[in-house]
């Protein structure tokens, strides 16, 4: 579903990612892990067109031989967010993923402004409350008065209004206690069972790897390993990623 080929990029003159290639298959949940500064968030931003890809080698002219990103068989490299959304690819950042001073209901209505049919929007909001029943009771509450887990559910509900094929998430359980973390990941599994593919940046690997099909490890801005999560998977193999 999503293919990244030879992604090299960074900020200004500082290179962060070097020749990163991987694939996320349809209906997979893939965790993207690595120590701070390894390039995880940078990779999500590049996939979502917020950063440009660089030439694979310093000798290549600008714009030539740059890395490529494909989604559902189509080259999406550098496309703006609104076009990616229409193609079914959404990004939920770690911060600023909802409107702090608006109610849950108003957040959903704002997220659905680009849906032209008002009756269709109402139906999708209704469906969002069915998928995330906890939000129905919080419909008049603002995110400022909600827990971290509740806010993540709101962000996912806002994304689901657009019927995504795939969601990129940046550390959705950061700062959450174990119970809240499990509730968030149970909801991610629910959406995955509905057909949504996930690429998730995560730091708490030991607590969350069970939900994943595969784990991609970044180290010093490059792919360190790609592991299948199966009966033979050994979480201790990933210790060196954080050293």
Are residues 212 and 227 located together in one domain of the fold? yes
Residues 119 and 188 in one domain: no
Is residue 84 located within the same domain as residue 132? no
* Same structural domain, 11 and 76: yes
Residues 81 and 174 in one domain: yes
Q: Two tokens at 30?
A: 């893939």
Q: Are residues 27 and 39 in the same domain?
A: yes
Looking at the structure, tell me whether residues 26 and 122 fall in a common domain.
no
Rounded CA gap, 102 and 2, in Å?
33
b/e code 194-219 from CB counts within 10 Å (16+ = b):
eebbbbbbbbebeebbebbbbbbbbb
Q: Which helix (H) or strand (E) holds 70?
A: strand 68-71
* Same domain? 220 vs 121: no
Same domain, 100 and 81: no
> Which pTM value belongs to this model?
0.93
Pairing of strands 166-170, 197-201: parallel
Domain with 72 in it: 2-88+165-242
Residues 212 and 108 in one domain: no
Instruction: State whether 28 and 113 are in the same domain.
Output: no
Helix axes of 104-111 and 118-131: crossing angle, nearest 10 degrees: 130
| 173 shares a domain with 77 | yes
| Separation CA 168–CA 202 (nearest Å) | 11
Domain end, chosen from 163, 189, 217, is at 163
Structural domain tally of the chain? 2
Q: Which of 230, 163, 207 is nearest to 33 (CA)?
A: 207
- CB-based contact 229:213 (threshold 8 Å): yes
Q: Which of 148, 163, 178 is the last residue of a domain?
A: 163
Q: Which residues contact 121 (CB under 8 A, 6 or more apart)?
A: 109, 112, 115, 161
Structural domain ending residue among the three candidates 117, 137, 163: 163
Burial of 96 (0-12, 13-18, 19+ CB in 10 A): exposed
- pLDDT tens digits in sequence order for the chain, 243 residues long: 999 999 999 999 999 999 999 999 999 999 999 988 999 999 999 999 999 999 976 555 555 568 999 999 999 999 999 999 999 999 999 988 999 999 999 999 999 999 989 999 999 999 999 999 999 999 999 999 999 999 999 999 999 999 999 999 999 999 999 999 999 999 999 999 999 999 999 988 888 888 999 999 999 999 999 999 988 888 887 776 664
């Amino acid at each position: 579903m999503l293919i990244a080929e030879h992604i090299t990029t960074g900020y200004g003159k500082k290179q962060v990612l070097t020749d990163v290639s991987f694939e996320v298959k349809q209906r997979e949940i893939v965790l993207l892990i690595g120590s701070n500064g390894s390039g995880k968030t940078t990779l999500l931003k590049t996939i979502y067109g917020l950063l440009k890809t660089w030439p694979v080698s310093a000798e290549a002219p600008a714009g030539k031989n740059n890395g490529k990103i494909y989604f559902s068989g189509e080259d999406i490299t550098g496309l703006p967010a609104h076009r990616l959304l229409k193609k079914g690819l959404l990004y939920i950042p770690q911060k600023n993923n909802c409107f702090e001073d608006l109610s849950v209901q108003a957040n959903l209505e704002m997220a659905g402004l680009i849906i032209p049919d008002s009756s269709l929007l109402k139906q999708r909001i209704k469906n969002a409350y069915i998928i995330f029943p906890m939000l129905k009771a919080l419909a008049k509450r603002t995110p400022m008065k909600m827990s971290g887990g509740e806010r993540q559910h709101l962000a996912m509900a806002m994304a689901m209004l657009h019927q995504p094929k795939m969601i990129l998430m940046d550390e959705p359980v950061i700062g959450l206690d174990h119970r809240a973390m499990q509730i968030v990941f149970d909801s991610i599994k629910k959406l995955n069972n509905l057909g949504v593919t996930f690429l998730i940046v995560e730091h708490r690997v030991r607590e969350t790897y069970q939900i994943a099909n595969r784990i991609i490890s970044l180290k010093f801005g490059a792919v360190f390993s790609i592991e299948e999560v199966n009966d033979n998977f050994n979480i201790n193999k990933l210790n060196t990623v954080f050293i």
